[in-house]
């Protein structure tokens, strides 16, 4: 469990990025920070692994203040996946994945073996291990980024807009992979996005943020959709546009669910009684 207690971050130039932020992030679930550009999402994420230090307030992991931990050690014990993969361009894929375990003292050979296994985990062919990042597609680079984030077998995985730079089809694939990974690996995931659909798809807990990382609403996707806490939330999640209002339509092949713009969103199937 990660707990923010009245955390504020003011940057040296005076920008108040995060103001009095408090939140409990449950273990082994996915929490998504969603909000528009500049709302403080990245700053929140980076304060968890001390890439950014808070101006006031505390952040605890399993009851221990992160300030009490050695910053470098803390950072290496938490997985971090960033937009564009954040890969080292002059290192082969396998070495990109093995970097942190080697820094943590795992013998290079063992770290490389584990890196190959991680390529399997994220659905990449092992034949890509000897390529350089520039020789991969955007989606493959993102998968390497995820493998890299998982390399030290962290309990916590921070993901900062990891799929922002790939096309919608690859993005949808990576989202499904993330759901599968979360089911299989059971990590505490904190995910940042500005895309509310992605937030609802991936999040067990969704945190909608306004400027200054002020919480507009926190809850499960259905709690938020069923009862938006404010006009701001309603408009952010698209309730007022009716775009999420689904209705059924009978077709020759069965009953389908159609959204407000007439697009088919799914098929109704008979579940177990």
Residue from 22, 5, 17, 15 nearest 66 by CA = 5
The rounded distance, in Å, linking the Cα atoms of 208 and 17 is 15
Minimum CB distance to ligand ATP, residue 211 (Å): 8
**Do residues 266 and 224 lie in contact, with contact meaning Cβ atoms separated by under 8 Å?**
no
Q: Which is nearer to ligand ATP, 40 or 154 (CB)?
A: 40
Minimum CB distance to ligand ATP, residue 17 (Å): 3
The greatest distance separating any two alpha carbons of the chain, rounded to the nearest whole angstrom, comes to: 64
Pattern 138-177, ligand ATP, x by CB under 6 A = ----------------------------------------
Q: Which is nearer to ligand ATP, 42 or 188 (CB)?
A: 42
CA distances from 263 to 38, 55, 227, 234 (A): 32, 47, 24, 21
Residues near ligand ATP (CB under 6 A), total? 13
The rounded distance, in Å, linking the Cα atoms of 67 and 55 is 12
244 touches ligand ATP by CB under 6 A = no
Q: Which is nearer to ligand ATP, 95 or 198 (CB)?
A: 198
Edge-to-edge strand ranges of the sheet holding 30-35? 79-82, 156-160, 188-193, 30-35, 205-210, 214-219
Interface positions, 173-212, toward ligand ATP (CB under 6 A): 194
17 touches ligand ATP by CB under 6 A = yes
Q: Which is nearer to ligand ATP, 41 or 143 (CB)?
A: 41
Q: What SS3 state is found at 243?
A: coil
Residue ranges binding ligand ATP (CB under 6 A): 11, 13, 15, 17, 35, 37-43, 194
């Amino acid at each position: 469990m990660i707990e923010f207690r009245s955390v504020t971050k003011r940057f040296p130039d005076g920008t108040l990025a995060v103001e009095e932020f408090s939140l409990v992030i449950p273990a082994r679930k996915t929490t998504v920070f969603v909000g528009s550009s500049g709302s403080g999402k990245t700053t929140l994420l980076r304060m968890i692994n001390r890439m950014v230090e808070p101006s006031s307030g505390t952040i605890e992991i399993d009851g221990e203040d992160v300030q009490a931990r050695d910053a470098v050690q803390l950072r290496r014990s938490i997985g971090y996946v960033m937009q564009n993969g954040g890969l080292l361009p002059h290192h082969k894929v396998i070495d990109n994945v093995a970097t942190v375990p080697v820094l943590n003292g795992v013998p290079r050979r063992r770290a490389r073996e584990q890196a190959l296994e991680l390529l399997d985990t994220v659905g990449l062919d092992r034949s890509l291990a000897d390529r350089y990042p520039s020789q991969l597609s955007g989606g493959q680079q993102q998968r390497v980024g995820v493998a890299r984030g998982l390399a030290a077998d962290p309990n916590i995985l921070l993901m900062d807009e990891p799929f922002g730079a790939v096309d919608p089809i690859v993005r949808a694939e990576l989202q499904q992979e993330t759901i599968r990974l979360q089911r299989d690996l059971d990590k505490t995931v904190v995910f940042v996005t500005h895309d509310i659909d992605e937030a609802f798809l991936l999040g067990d807990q969704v945190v909608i943020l306004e400027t200054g990382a002020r919480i507009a609403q926190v809850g499960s996707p259905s709690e938020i959709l069923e009862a938006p806490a404010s006009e701001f939330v309603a408009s952010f999640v698209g309730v007022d546009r009716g775009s999420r209002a689904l209705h059924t339509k009978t077709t020759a092949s069965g009953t389908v669910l159609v959204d407000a713009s007439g697009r088919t969103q799914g098929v109704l199937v008979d579940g177990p009684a």
